Structures are given as structure tokens and as C-alpha cells.
Copies of this chain bind each other. A is one copy, B any other.
Amino acid sequence: MPPLTRPRIVAAAIDLIEREGADAVSMRRIAADLGVGAMSLYNHVSSKAALLDAVAEFVLSQISFTDDPGDAWTERVRVQARAVRQIAHDYPRSTMLVMSRPVRSPAGLFPLERALATLREAGFSGEDAVRVVRTFIAYLVGSLMREVGVTPAFAPVHDSEDGHLAEVDATLFPQVGALAPLLVARDHEEAFEYGLDLLIRAIALQLQDSARLQDPAATRPKESTAAKEGSARG
């Protein structure tokens, strides 16, 4: 049996969370999985809350960005967003935990740094880069919570919500009733990409607008999503 270390404890915690859900996590349970007394954990972790913070930090550190600096910024932020989504799929239950607590670790700052740098290179001002990155994070967090929160167990869920939505009162909720098949359809990938594309194109348009305001001659629509004519927002 290898020695008890902080990384081993964090790994055991993540394992337990993914296998049995966050509610099943207890210091005694983790210790038992490691073949160790409950109190021994406290030699490496100051409290249960600190352990969960460490779990969050680890999950965030697993995000691996593969975006090519040579690509257009639109493609780069798309790839970065997909990287975040990927770890949400690798650690679905833990991801809920990560998103439920404020970011406090350098591991969480790294993706932020990367996104901000990409946007600055694309020509966004500091203010706009922050605004844009905030909007993206909001969309990411909201999307992944929906995708992942719908997973009560590793079981494929199949008919639970299906049966639920099928019995809504069609007179009270005509739209929900009529669109139930679509609302139930679980093509998370398609839904995620739809919103992501929407956001990216909207931001691309705005970047062009602000660029034209500063240097009207430089209107050179490199992206094919250009709107060559249009009024800025009021």
C-alpha cells in the first residue's frame, strides 16, 4: 500500500464522487476506500471543505487547451470552450461541485488568463475582453450545469424526464406540450455548439463595429460572418 498523500486523497475523493455522487462523500468513506482511519486524512487536508477545494482545483487543472495560436480568435475561443466542456464530461459529478463554489485557485485562473490573452490579441480592449470573457463563462457554466446536472446517476436516465414532460397539462402549457419532444431531446452537443456559435458570431460582429469606429478604413472582413453594413447599437 503506497503512503497516504494529499494527491491520493484527492483522487479517492473524485473517484467516490463520480461513482456514488457528491452526497456519498464523507471523510470516513474516503478513508475506508484508502484503507485508512478517518482521522488520518486530517494530516494532509485541513478540513472537508479544503478537500473539496482541492478536488475543484484538480478538476480545473485537468483542462487541456489545444487551440492553435495561428488560428483565428473565433476558432481559438471555440476550442477553449470545448476544452472546458470536455472535463465536464470527464468528471461530471465533480464538475457540479466545481461550479458551485467560487474560484480560488491558480488552476482556475489559468483558463481565464488564456481566454483574456486570446481576446486581447484579437484586438479587444481590456474592458471588452473582460465583458466578453464574463459572458462566455456565464454561458459555459449554465450549459454545463444543465448537461451535467441532469445526470443523477451514471444510469442513462432515459425515460425519467421523458415520462415527466409527457404528462404536462397541454392547456396550461401549450408550447411546452407541443415542443416536449424537442425539449426532451438530449442532443447536448448540438445545443452547446448552437449557443457557442451564436455568442462567437455576435462578438465578432461587435469587434468589427468597434474597430470601424476607431479606424473606418480598416474594415476588412476577414471572417465570412461579416455584416458589411449596419448601425451600431444605441
Contacts and interface: CB of A to CB of B under 8 A. Distances in A.
Interface of A: 96, 99-102, 104, 106, 109-110, 112-113, 116-117, 120, 126-127, 129-131, 134-135, 137-143, 145-146, 149-150, 152, 161, 164, 168-169, 172-176, 178-179, 182-183, 191, 194-195, 197-199, 201-203, 205-206, 224-231, 233-234
Nearest to A206: B198
A96 B178 CA distance: 30
Given A138-B139, A225-B230, 10 more contacts: A104-B164, A109-B168, A130-B179, A131-B195, A135-B195, A141-B141, A141-B142, A141-B145, A197-B233, A227-B228
B138 A143 contact: yes
A198 B191 contact: no
B225 A228 contact: no
Give chain A's interface secondary structure class: helix
B198 A202 contact: yes
B191 A113 contact: no
A134 B195 contact: yes
Contacts of A183: 112, 130
A160 to B, nearest CB: 10
